[in-house]
Amino acid sequence: MNGAEILDVARDAIWTIVLVSSPLMLVGLVVGVAISLVQALTQIQEMTLAFVPKILAIFITLMVALPFMADALHSHMMRITSRIIGG
């Protein structure tokens, strides 16, 4: 394996990580901003108020996006194994 192939595998791995983690990160970001906006508008400055809705939203998103995430990880593993088999 030369340097170009290693960089190609690394780039593919980083792209797969971004694809797999982006649904959860985006939902966490949107829910966090919405909770912060509600806290700023109502002047309720409770720090623990943001955790429960964010955890629930991320958990629901995880259940919905799990097939997509598993498929992306599976296809990445198949690409890696084909490179290993191909030499």
pLDDT digits over 31-76, tens only?
999 999 998 898 887 878 888 999 999 999 999 999 999 999 999 9
The pTM of the full predicted model, rounded to 2 decimals, is 0.81
How much is the pLDDT for 1? 74
Q: Which domain holds residue 13?
A: 3-86
| Residue 81 in this model has a pLDDT that exceeds 80 | yes
What is the predicted pLDDT for the residue at 44? Answer: 82
Burial 50-62 (b: 16+ CB within 10 A, else e): beeebeebbeebe
Which H or E run includes 54? helix 51-86
72's CB contacts (< 8 A; 6+ apart) are 16, 19, 20
pLDDT at 45: 79
Distance from C-alpha of 83 to C-alpha of 39, rounded to nearest angstrom: 51
Our count of domains for the chain comes to: 1
3-state secondary structure of 2: coil
Residue 87 has pLDDT above 90, yes or no: no
